[in-house]
Amino acid sequence: MTLYIEPYGSCYCCVIYHVTRCRFFSNSSSILATEMILSKYPWLVQNEILQNMEPSELLLLSLVSKNMKKLIKSCQKKRLESVNTIVYSTDVNNYLCAYILRESHKFMHKDILMRFEEFQETETPDFQLNVSGKKIDFRLFTRERNKELWLPENFHPYPVACVQKSDKESILESVHNYFLDFFAHSVKYYWKAKEFEDGPYHIPKQLLNSYPKKDVF
Amino acid sequence: MAPKKNSAKRPQPSTPKPSAPARIVKVQSSDGHILQADVRALLLSSTLAATIKGYDDENKPLEKLEVNNVVGFTLKLVLEWCEKHKEDDPAIAQAEKDKKNIFIPSWDRHFLTKLPMGNLFDLITAAYHLDITGLINYGCKTVANSAKGKSTEEMRELFGIPEPWEQPSTSTATWDD
């Protein structure tokens, strides 16, 4: 449907009312599609919007559609190429975490890309995505959901892959294959084995095959 | 007491300078609506600044500026933003552009977030056509912020990405999966 807004004689309240009314009487997906379509922005604006997103948000957005992934890879080529190191490690709760390690002002920063949590079959995920040909359930780690935890001021929500015990290996393989495709070939992957003493984790085959042992420390 | 060291981290709007009386010109949108604006506000747009300079260099009287690719409603929003920022140092916007984390001042945050997404889209596109760096910076940051904490389905709706089964079958489709 076409959304028409009177250019004059309208205040913001009228506009919002008009949009709300249209949404109420029409198919919700069509009205939203007419509201803001990223692909219709000029290329430089698309680039600016993507530039303002965190790596985990770009990663998640790339999984929405193949063309979105192409757009991100072309718009953000320089940024993706600037990623030198991705580390698999455990966080304070002993969950496997994949993060970008970057140096800024002589300090090392971690940009979390994804976390892997064991998931009970009775729990409900937020959404499901096809990652390198494998359907994986996801939840979002947000501030609202983790009020009991202290989270830094610059915290950004990130996806949590819901891992079932029987499927742990194939999920990790699929996610790692996706990273290999999404980020530049020059990225070095590290597996911080010392932190996995409590529960042995499967190391992705690609990680073992592609890199010398010194990178798996 | 010495001022805090980090007080200069965020760019502050420049203090209003005592200046000459406002020079008001008419601005016409693509759909024929005529608005009035202070020239200092219009100078935030590199495109309009070049046109104004052209008139001034030739000593031609500037009666009306025509903005052919922006409709009246959006132009009104653009002029409202420019009016608010007409005292700003242009170097602020340029410096913000190169920063990783853009800080959106509260007035701008309120101004941009209250807009429905469709209007925000038009506003950013207009800012792009008129080359208004500050408005592009804040607009794009607002759009990026709106994706925070969203599931992929919500991102799909927010950015108008069709479902795989809604894709056109032609190879020229924009978002075909």
One-letter amino acid at A88 equals: Y
Chain A, 94-153: which have a CB under 8 Å from a chain B CB?
Answer: 126-127, 129, 138, 140, 142-144
Q: What is the pLDDT of residues A44-93, one digit of tens each?
A: 999 999 999 999 999 999 999 999 999 999 999 999 999 999 999 887 77
d(CA B47, CA B144): 25
Chain A / chain B CB contacts < 8 angstroms = 131
Q: What is the pLDDT of residues A7-34, one digit of tens each?
A: 333 444 443 333 333 333 333 333 333 4
d(CA A51, CA A41): 14
d(CA A53, CA A152): 18
Residues of B in contact with A61 (CB under 8 A): 147, 152, 155, 159
Global pTM?
Answer: 0.77
Search chain A and give the residue with CA nearest B101: A52
Q: What share of chain B is helix, strand, coil (3-state, %, to 5)?
A: 50, 5, 45
Q: Is B152 close to A63, i.e. CB distance below 8 A? A: yes
Q: Residue A154 — very low, low, confident or very high, per pLDDT cuts 50/70/90?
A: confident
Q: How many CB atoms lie within 10 A of CB B89?
A: 13
Q: What is the ipTM of this complex?
A: 0.79
Q: How far apart, in Å, do the first and last CA atoms of chain A sit?
A: 57
Domain ranges of chain A: 1-35, 84-215
Angle, vertex CA B151, rays to CA B145 and CA B156, nearest 5: 80
d(CA B155, CA B146): 9
pLDDT given for residue A108 in this prediction: 80
d(CA B20, CA B30): 31
pLDDT given for residue A202 in this prediction: 66
Q: Does domain B23-166 have CATH number 1.10.10.10?
A: no
Domain ranges of chain B: 23-166
